[in-house]
């Protein structure tokens, strides 16, 4: 489980396409603190660390593998050397819950429709896949590329959020452009409320 609070901005340094696709991701975390088998949210996708170590430049790294199913349901198929990745280590009992409960299971891939300045912040407008748009509510939570965000407004398949300068600086969002795909995970509470509603109807 995760909270959608990004703790590190990683970078893809190697991509090897075999039976599954292997990604090596540079991190500022001490690789000695990353256990083999640990779950790490990588731009919102929960992946398992299968190797850790140090790169020649001294940075730590961990390696993960993604199946064809994962590549087809997320943005990972677009990752290449140099891609910046929002990272979050798994939640521990007693950790501060600063965002909202996130599973790291991507529900669908959306798209950035527009990015416009709004005060010191940036207003991002997204388009969600039709099958998950009904779970997105104004003032509700959503996880986008591993970042817990609050929805400002919803209009059909589109919705908006504001990102403050700090978030733009410490995550991959600062380099985002209109048209970019994003991993979307809907709020777990919205999922269960919708399921209960189905039973009542």
The answer to whether residues 84 and 126 belong to one domain is no
CA–CA distance, 34 with 117 (Å, rounded to integer): 38
Is the model's pLDDT at 201 over the cut of 60?
A: no
Distances, alpha carbon 131 to alpha carbons 83, 99, 138, in Å: 28, 24, 17
Query: At 194, is the pLDDT very low, low, confident or very high (cuts 50, 70, 90)?
Result: low
Domain boundary among 54, 89, 124: 89
Is the model's pLDDT at 166 over the cut of 60?
A: yes
* 40: in domain: yes
Sign of CA dihedral 98, 30, 173, 112: negative
The answer to whether residues 122 and 194 belong to one domain is yes
Q: How far is CA 145 from the centre of its chain?
A: 3
The total domain count for the chain is 2
The answer to whether residues 83 and 135 belong to one domain is no
Domain boundary among 61, 89, 117: 89
Sheet order of strands, 51-54 included: 45-48, 39-42, 84-89, 8-17, 21-27, 60-66, 51-54
Is the model's pLDDT at 127 over the cut of 90?
A: yes
Is the model's pLDDT at 200 over the cut of 70?
A: no
* CATH number of the domain residue 191 falls in: 2.40.30.20
Give the pLDDT confidence of 1-45 residue by residue, as tens digits.
Answer: 898 999 999 999 999 998 899 999 999 999 999 999 999 999 999
CA–CA distance, 66 with 64 (Å, rounded to integer): 7
Is the model's pLDDT at 101 over the cut of 90?
A: no
Query: At 195, is the pLDDT very low, low, confident or very high (cuts 50, 70, 90)?
Result: low
Q: Please report, rounded to a whole number, the percentage of residues in the chain having pLDDT higher than 90.
A: 84
Per 3-state DSSP, what percentage of the chain is helix, strand, and coil (rounded to 5)? 20, 40, 40
Range of the domain at 160: 108-200
């Amino acid at each position: 489980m995760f909270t959608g609070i990004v703790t590190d901005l990683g970078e893809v340094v190697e991509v090897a396409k075999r039976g599954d696709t292997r990604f090596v991701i540079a991190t500022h975390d001490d690789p000695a603190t990353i256990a083999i088998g640990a779950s790490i949210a990588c731009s919102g996708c929960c992946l398992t660390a299968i190797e850790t170590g140090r790169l020649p430049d001294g940075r730590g790294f961990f390696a993960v593998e993604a199946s064809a199913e994962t590549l087809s349901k997320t943005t990972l198929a677009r990752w290449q050397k140099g891609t910046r990745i929002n990272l979050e280590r798994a939640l521990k009992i007693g950790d501060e819950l600063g965002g909202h409960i996130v599973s790291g299971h991507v529900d669908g891939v959306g798209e950035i429709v527009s990015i416009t300045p709004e005060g010191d912040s940036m207003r991002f407008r997204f388009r969600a896949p039709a099958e998950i748009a009904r779970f997105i509510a104004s003032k509700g939570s959503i996880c986008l590329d591993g970042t817990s965000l609050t929805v400002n407004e919803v209009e059909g398949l589109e919705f908006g959020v504001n990102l403050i300068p700090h978030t733009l600086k410490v995550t991959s969002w600062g380099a985002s452009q209109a048209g970019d795909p994003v991993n979307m995970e809907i709020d777990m509470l919205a999922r269960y409320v919708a399921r209960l509603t189905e039973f009542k109807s």
